[in-house]
Structure 1
Amino acid sequence: MVVFPHAVEAVPRVDVDQPDPDRAADAGESVDERRPLVDLFGDLRTSRSGLSEREAARRLVVYGPNTLSRRTGRRWPRELLGQFTQPLAILLALAAVLAWFGGSPALAVAVVAVILLNAGFAFVQEMQAERAVEALAAFLPSTTSVLRDGVRSEIAARDLVPGDILIIAEGDRVCADARIIDGSLVLDLSALTGESMPATRSAGPADAGTSLLEAPDLVFCGTTCTGGEASTVVTRTGMHTELGRIAALSQRVSTERSPLEQQVRRATWIIAVVAVIVGVLFLPVGVWAGLGWAAAISFSIGLIVANVPEGLLPTITLALAAGVRDLARRGAVVKRLSAVETLGSTTVICTDKTGTLTENRMRVTQLWLPGAEYDTTTTTTVDDTRAKALAATAAACTTAQPPTEAQTAGSGDPTELALLRLAEELHVAVTPAGRDAARRAVFHFDAHLKRMSTVDEDAGTLVIRTKGALETVLPCCDQVLDPQGRLQPLDDGIRLDLQHTLDRYAARGLRVLAVAARTLDHGQHVPTDRQQAESGLTLLGLVAMVDPPRAGVAAAVAAAHRAGIRIHVITGDYGPTAAEIARQVGLGHEGRRIVAGDELDRLTDSELDTILAGGDEIVFARVSPEAKLRICEALRAQGETVAMTGDGVNDAPALRHADIGVAMGRSGTDVAREAATMVLTDDNFATIVVAVDAGRRVFANVRKFVLYIFAHAVPEVVPFLIFALSGGAIPLPLTVLQILAIDLGTETLPALALGREPAEPGLMDRPPRPRAAGVIDRALLVRAWLLLGGVSAVLVMGGYLFTLWRAGWHPGDPTGAGTPLHHAYLQATTITFAGIVACQIGTAFAARTDRASLFTIGLFTNRFLLWGIAFELVFTAAVIYTPPLQDIFGTAAVSPAQLAIIAPFPVVVWGVDELVRWARRRAV
């Protein structure tokens, strides 16, 4: 039995000077991999027989271990401290201080507890260790094979140094950048470049204009060998490799605040300034109205407390957390709370192709036979015996391992895995054990010949099986099988048909393999000469395959387009192939533009801005990690909110730099998952659109409870203004403690329930909001303060004054402790407190929709809101009717007749808002 060499023997030693210690430190950084091999050996001070053990040990000290370094330093104290310097946290701290000086230490402690709980919760949710570089390090194997002193040996990958002779064989993970000396390799570069098709690399000079990643004789750290064997000379290790360069890019980009974080921070600072200004301006007004300085200062504090939305921070935090939990159940894990809202504001999605739009799983779609053609995607059964022979022959001429229980994805060349699946589908499955047992020789895939052949024993007969590119297999063939299975010479008509078929398949973005075979005569030996073996073959047919789009991607793209979102394809793959996939899923238009990496590099920033501002969806092909960052930055400079998807090592820097990075959970690399803000556990591109819908809903719901919370500031502030402007003739209708009871007690649960509100009809049919659009805008403030707040203030003050008037009160009458009207005054303030709560209920129902009528979504469809209102009523009743709480909050029990005064308040508040929305819809 003759088996072609699977190992590379040590080649004769070429005497070259050993590395100069003074130059060793620079070799890994300054060496030019493309110099002639003799010059390269000289630069690296090495030889074909490798380094000596002593020299390798010395270089390890000079260069350091072959690992990826990471930034160090304890960052968590700063991250945790940052939670307490958020504007909302500062406002809560201000409320706690005011409560303490207002004589309510218990409430002050409660507010501080809220600050601590929210800070801790947000810290745990958002604090993620910088594990991207550690994940990159996982791409380095633990051991590798090298030549040291002319002897092949296994060493730890971390001990590899520039100048080592590295032996790479099928199944190995490449652990350094190197140049091939002898042999040929088939490499899976998808994790590094995004290229879905395997690439061949072999010894030989490269064209000067070829990019580094496409050089035919260079291999790179982080890639995987799926076929062949070669000896290489290591040129770069550790952080000097291409993988290390990407690691450095990942560490340099920083995470910026989301649009929601920026808007809430800006809005809450405005609220804080307004609250302080109102409180300070009240001092001279109160003194002018006849109040003493002590009273004026006390009530200024009350005004500030009334303007501080104490419940806003916990409500936003918990609403975002609820959105995170909801997305996790739907296949998207979000690692930062605010990222949920960021998705909702997305205007552009920059998506990778391989593994994102496609399955990253080659699939045979077409079979061509003389006189017949089959579409394997629509044909459930193929009875043609020639097709079965074609599939069985192609599957036998492989080295890949199909999926097993232990290894669900299989291993080896994706093309060969597709051929094994084809044979199984046509019921002529080839098992690895049977295939390897029958094999007598193998001519590995050659990058120059572009074909592979095996010699197998089948029922005592030797059979040569060949597969490869049609242009290289066809010259080896002199006959074909006709439709009746008889041998027929390869005439010009068949050759022309083959060429037309090849052109037709190539136009559809398919990869085409030709399959041929020859049965040796009885008594013939296993051929040792490749040229002799690969001659006189019979062409069995053509196999065409593609990396197909994922199911549901086209529908997701259509939904994104309806939502006004553009999608650019940014891939390391071949441009026409990526454009064809884009066409299949509905991206771009006929004649869609393809911008290759070299063209992108030549574009100036202004030219790139012009292209991106044109409104078209573009396919960027053969792009580098830096180019992805450049595209992302250009889009963001134009005011776009960018979601970047990806699954490879090369995607990590862009995933971190985008407004939100989206990685694939199953097929994606650990690097991409760690660098991304959101991970799709189901690897479904359609989940991105689901997440966009959820993000828009979260943003809309944040506006709803902001509206709900802000609307109560007016009925809380107006009583203080009336008291001050009347010079005390109208007693204070509300106390500071009652305000805190509303803001931290009755308000929180209904606000949280609004955060769980279903999406309003038509939410995904609207264009994305502008990046500068705030959570709090003029329309929201007018609706909150003028409409809902104004109506609530009128109702509340009416109920307060009516209660005092019925008790016989007149302006200026004393109502302090010990006076005849004191109990009536307590009941009147209780009516004010309860009236605000009643108006809260009406505001909650009104806030459920922004444009549509409440009846379109149903009055009782939000059960969380119903439970929140029930708690609100129970809490209010406890404050009013429980003696200990009456003493704390200054309330008194009220009669059913007095409660009847405020009973219509919810309907009035909601009804007025419903009428205004009806009029607004009619006006459109």
Structure 2
Amino acid sequence: MINQKAIVIRDGLEKQIDLQYLSPGDIVKLKPGLIVPADLRILESLNLKVDNSLLTGEPEPQERVLECTNEKSALESKNLAFLGTTVVQGYGKGIVISIGDNTLLGCITRLTTLVSKSKSLFELEISRLVKVVLLISISTGIFFFSISLMIGYTITIDMQMTVGIVIGIIPEGLMIFLLSSLIISWRKMKKQNILVKDLKYIESLGSISCICSDKTGTLTENKMTVVGLWYDLQSRDVHNFEDQNLVENLGYSPMDNTFKFLQYCGTLSNSAKWNFLPSNDCLYDNYGNYLPTQQVEKITERYKENYITTSPREWPVLRGDASEIALIRFFQPIYDVDALRGKYPIMLRYGIRVEIPFRSPDKFGVTLHEPVDFGGIENIKKCLMFMKGAPEEVWKRCEFILIDGIAERINENYYEEFKNANHLYASSGKRVIGMAMMWLPEEDYDSEYAFLPIRNEGPNFPLTGLTFIGLCALEDPPKHKVREAVEKCQQAGIKVIMITGDQPLTATAIAREVSIVTSKQTANEISEEKDIDLYLALNNSDAIIIHGEELSKIVEQDKNLPLRNNV
């Protein structure tokens, strides 16, 4: 889906406008996570890379530079960014050269409408039926025409009888009957929130043999809540801190030194943001100009007062994925999220935030914060870095662990405690997030240091030697009747495959909860328990969990493996 708004620079001011108002010649600002809103020629590039897979199928991000690198093919030139591609790394600016149908994506879309579409299964069956009926009617007509001539009827009577027979055999109401049946099926599917654009494809749905489904938001509600914390080597069941008189029932203390840094990381290294404004019209004056930042902040604070007495679970969110939204909803009652971010802002260099956005291949995100006093803790007035991501990925970058607010060197015992806690949460279907921090040495990284988080050779600051803070477990319950729907599919002989970015333990637990995996043990568990090859383990199980890195290798050996098993 293309962004509905674009960040442009007009009259020297940065503005956010709707795409319909974007014009050739506009200067557009690009940053990680944004989808390019039009075809652009790059004017500025700071290690800018875009994902062109939508247009070219290239799996790796492509670098964008100022110079033209291919005069013969615009698609191959690195000084152009195209509508629909995603900025995955770096920052930059570009001038709009094409919009709408004149863009490369628009041309491709226009060409696809000219391609002749193959007939659906329904159309093929109807065509075959019509041919058979037509053949039978003509053959029958010829047969009786010949018989009547032999008996001695006149040609006039023979022709009348033959035409009557042919017309009588052809089912004139067939198309009306079929169309009515499809409309009835369409209405039934609509009641189940299934919208079919073309009636002829309803029949094709009956031929489905395999369904590949995303987990978050499809099988689950995509409404995550924080249900567990692990820090100071202890697992704690938690709930939102909505009643300050119930501190003793929380299972944790907001005053714990380690908890404070868990709160800092979950709040500061987080892109989710509250949205208290009733509409974007509040951001513009009577002439359509974007209001100054200070004035927008005052307006936001005024509307925020309407939500102070309500639960953070009900507060509107501007952006952020489900995990990050759950974190700010959890920490908001303890300390106002906006106030904390204002107190400990993300570092800016050359007007750009010093951060490494979360990417699936990396499995972690990083933010750096200005050297300020973090609550009287030692090593204050130094730049502080927070890392948040997949537990194992974050842990392997750490050399220390925070115990009662004091960093201690990691040993085998600490690793076992971490592994057991991660296993406990993941095996019960929770999404687990690891958090870590690092004080950057003042002698090497002072307040004037030119931090460059995104470069081809990597950031110019360390991403190892961190201090592990703890784990945060989030729960996303399955949707109502999902289990029943999966079981009905399986009874109909339809294979259901779940696709998710969660760690294998979490994926296995959710798959069992919605009946995608019904075996007592998956092939992976049998293979690990008996120390045998995964293929041999499949003899004792019909379920397998395939990690993304292993999928290509497995498919090369056996292309039908995912279809023969519950995955």
> Is the TM-score greater than 0.5?
yes
1:85-234 equivalences in 2 (<5 Å): 138-139=2-3, 144=8, 159=24, 167-169=29-31, 172-175=34-37, 222=84, 230-231=91-92
1:384-533 equivalences in 2 (<5 Å): 384-385=252-253, 386=256, 389=260, 392-393=263-264, 394-402=266-274, 410-412=318-320, 415-424=323-332, 427-428=333-334, 430-432=336-338, 434-440=339-345, 442=347, 444-446=354-356, 451-454=366-369, 466-469=385-388, 480-482=402-404, 489=408, 492=411, 495-497=414-416, 499-501=418-420, 504=423, 510=431, 512-515=433-436
Q: Give the whole-Å Cα distance in 1 for the aligned partners of 2:62 and 2:562.
A: 39
3-state SS of 2:162 partner: helix
1:521-670 equivalences in 2 (<5 Å): 540-544=469-473, 550=479, 552-568=481-497, 580=508, 583-584=511-512, 585-587=514-516, 590-591=523-524, 592=544, 594=546, 600=552, 611-612=559-560, 615-617=563-565
Check conservation: 1:454, 1:466, Cα contact below 8 A: yes
Structure 1 residues 237-286: Cα deviation after superposition (integer angstroms, max 9, x where no partner): 88999967985895586543332222122112211221122122212322
Identify unmatched segments of 5+ residues in structure 1. Answer: 1-135, 205-217, 519-525, 620-924
Residue in structure 2 matched with residue 383 of structure 1 by the alignment: 251
Change over 3 Å in CA distance of 1:593–1:475 after alignment to 2: closer
Q: Give the whole-Å Cα distance in 2 for the aligned partners of 1:409 and 1:395.
A: 14
Change over 3 Å in CA distance of 1:600–1:372 after alignment to 2: closer
Q: How far did 1:401 drift? A: 1.0
Q: Between Structure 1 and Structure 2, whose CA radius of gyration is higher? A: 1
Structure 1 residues 623-647: Cα deviation after superposition (integer angstroms, max 9, x where no partner): xxxxxxxxxxxxxxxxxxxxxxxxx
Q: How far did 1:373 drift? A: 1.0
Q: Give the whole-Å Cα distance in 2 for the aligned partners of 1:498 and 1:242.
A: 53
Q: Which amino acid aligns with 1:438?
A: K
Q: How far did 1:541 drift? A: 2.4
Check conservation: 2:426, 2:432, Cα contact below 8 A: yes
Structure 1 residues 566-622: Cα deviation after superposition (integer angstroms, max 9, x where no partner): 234578x6895996588444446534264858975997xxx79x6238851476xxx
Q: Give the whole-Å Cα distance in 2 for the aligned partners of 1:261 and 1:476.
A: 61
Q: Which amino acid aligns with 1:468?
A: M
Q: How far did 1:315 drift? A: 1.4
Q: Which amino acid aligns with 1:446?
A: I
Alignment RMSD: 5.9
Q: Which amino acid aligns with 2:187?
A: R
Q: Which amino acid aligns with 1:422?
A: F
Change over 3 Å in CA distance of 1:180–1:541 after alignment to 2: farther
Q: How far did 1:336 drift? A: 1.2
Residue in structure 2 matched with residue 699 of structure 1 by the alignment: none
Q: Give the whole-Å Cα distance in 1 for the aligned partners of 2:407 and 2:178.
A: 76
Q: How far did 1:180 drift? A: 12
Between Structure 1 and Structure 2, which shows a larger proportion of helix residues?
Answer: 1
Structure 1 residues 181-204: Cα deviation after superposition (integer angstroms, max 9, x where no partner): 86578999999999xxxx999999
3-state SS of 1:543 partner: strand
Q: How far did 1:391 drift? A: 5.7
Structure 1 residues 468-493: Cα deviation after superposition (integer angstroms, max 9, x where no partner): 157778988867344xxx75755646
TM-score, normalised via structure 1 length: 0.38
Residue in structure 2 matched with residue 14 of structure 1 by the alignment: none
Residue in structure 2 matched with residue 277 of structure 1 by the alignment: 139
Change over 3 Å in CA distance of 1:466–1:460 after alignment to 2: same
Check conservation: 1:509, 1:577, Cα contact below 8 A: no
Q: How far did 1:232 drift? A: 6.6
Change over 3 Å in CA distance of 1:441–1:615 after alignment to 2: closer
- Of 378-387 and 305-314, more deviation after overlay is shown by 378-387
Q: Give the whole-Å Cα distance in 2 for the aligned partners of 1:193 and 1:473.
A: 36
3-state SS of 2:564 partner: coil
Select the residue among 310, 328, 335 that pairs with 2:190: 328
1:303 counterpart = 2:165: yes
TM-score, normalised via structure 2 length: 0.57
1:229-244 equivalences in 2 (<5 Å): 230-231=91-92
Check conservation: 1:468, 1:514, Cα contact below 8 A: yes
3-state SS of 1:557 partner: helix
Q: How far did 1:439 drift? A: 3.9
Identify unmatched segments of 5+ residues in structure 2. Answer: 66-79, 243-248, 281-315, 349-353, 440-445, 452-459, 525-543
Q: Give the whole-Å Cα distance in 2 for the aligned partners of 1:182 and 1:271.
A: 67
1:700-779 equivalences in 2 (<5 Å): none
3-state SS of 1:322 partner: helix
3-state SS of 1:338 partner: helix
Residue in structure 1 matched with residue 291 of structure 2 by the alignment: none
Change over 3 Å in CA distance of 1:288–1:499 after alignment to 2: same
Change over 3 Å in CA distance of 1:413–1:465 after alignment to 2: farther
Change over 3 Å in CA distance of 1:320–1:446 after alignment to 2: closer
Q: How far did 1:384 drift? A: 0.9
Percent same amino acid among aligned pairs?
Answer: 21
3-state SS of 2:402 partner: strand
Residue in structure 1 matched with residue 286 of structure 2 by the alignment: none
Check conservation: 1:177, 1:236, Cα contact below 8 A: yes
Between Structure 1 and Structure 2, which shows a larger proportion of strand residues?
Answer: 2
Aligned length: 442
Change over 3 Å in CA distance of 1:192–1:532 after alignment to 2: closer
